[in-house]
Homo-oligomer: A and B are copies of this chain.
Amino acid sequence: MKPLPHVVIVGGGFAGLWATRALASAPVRITLVDRGNHHLFQPLLYQVATAGLSAPDIAAPLRHILRRQKNVEVRMATVERIDAAGKRVVLDDGSSIDFDLLLLASGATHAYFGNDHWAAHAPGLKTLDDALDLRRKLLLAFERAEATHDPAEREAWLSFAIVGGGPTGVELAGTLAEIARHTLKDEFRNIDPARARVRLIEAGPRVLSSFPEALSEKARRQLEALGVEVSTGTPVADITADGYRLGDTFVPAKTVVWAAGVAASPLGRTLGVALDRAGRVPVRPDLSVPGHPDIFVAGDLAAITQDDGSPVPGVAPAAKQMGRHVAQAIRARLAGRPTTPFRYRDYGNLATIGRMAAVVDFGRLKLSGLLAWWFWLVAHVFFLIGFRNRLVVLLNWCWAYWSYQRAARIILGEDRSDTK
């Protein structure tokens, strides 16, 4: 008997996991490779960073999700490069995995646009470990402010900046302002956490630029109502251990968070094809790599435009759709049928801002404020994987709503930052 074709899927995010599941009944053997042991529900990662949720609340072991899908083997391993000509995936321990068909869905990472030295002072948010590091950094800042006797130093510890006014930046800024003003109330004796300065810095003309202008404006007003200073139109010129420079002004701030940009996973470079400016792989309409019909790219690493010429956005629904499309293309390829072009179906766009505030854009239906927040909450909890996670997350939210408290305000791990 001929062995079944071997499909290797790199990355257990939305694209990789949805492709894997869609191949459940296909006549293939699948190996799913991921650096971590879990699928991460990235849209709620900022909640772990801001101590609202525990890390396991928004993640589930890949093995567990796929335990009943017998044609999949899950490998926890780090991929070093793709050997496209040799049709194998090379791991960091030097071993390799041969493939007949490959889906590369290794996503994106932070990008500092040529200012990589900012990374040490302005960490980003992509993994659970990032989120726990950021949580420690945010909570420790208030501790340091309480402990110091130097007024200037105290002010610097109570000065926070979030660089980047996209959904992640807006969520972080809104939640941080809420923590300072409500959650930490009455807990300190030498500082008033409510006097913390939370600044959201967007280089472009408005926050949430992927939303219609009216909603951007509403988001700005909701942020300001929560106590966030919104700065638009000027990019950050420098970030150091002690603060940041905006235009000609240096602002002391011990805590700067990077939410300004992502670059595609470096594995794209190892394919040996031309990449776009963000390092993404421009794929053919069926999501295969030009010149390599057996290699597909999906999710944040894939560059593809919609019929109107706009790029398919780097959001979870797009990644899931691409993952499912690749599964379909693989089935077609194996059956000798032609593949079809990928079409992104845009169901809408939502972003949360903080307690009871959000914006929702579903084309004709545009919402902001409390109703949008409820919409956001239901959608996010619904899409969380696993019955138990949903329950725990809902419970946490009810608790947070009722008490203004955040359930995970525990400082874990050592402080490895330069600003100890």
Instruction: List A residues at the B interface (Cβ < 8 Å).
Output: 36-38, 51, 54-57, 59, 61, 63-64, 67-68, 73-77, 128-129, 132, 139, 143, 146-147, 184-190, 388-389, 391-392, 395-396, 399, 403, 405, 407-414
Contacts and interface: CB of A to CB of B under 8 A. Distances in A.
11 contacts: A55-B408, A55-B412, A56-B409, A76-B411, A128-B412, A129-B413, A129-B414, A132-B413, A388-B396, A388-B403, A413-B413
Chain A at the B interface: SS class? mixed
B38 A411 contact: yes
A187 B67 contact: yes
A143 B37 contact: yes
Contacts of A403: 388
B139 A37 contact: yes
A146 B61 CA distance: 15
A29 to B, nearest CB: 10
A410 B147 contact: no
Nearest to A75: B147
A238 to B, nearest CB: 29
A73 B186 contact: no
Contacts of A129: 412-414
Contacts of A408: 54-56
A54 B410 CA distance: 11
Q: Which of A56, A57, A73, A189 has the most CB of B within 10 A?
A: A56
B36 A409 contact: no
A63 B193 CA distance: 13
Which of A77, A389, A407 lies at the interface centre, i.e. has the most chain B CB atoms within 10 A of its CB?
Answer: A407
Given A37-B143, A54-B57, A391-B395, A187 B64 contact: yes
Contacts of A36: 411
A40 to B, nearest CB: 9
B56 A410 contact: yes
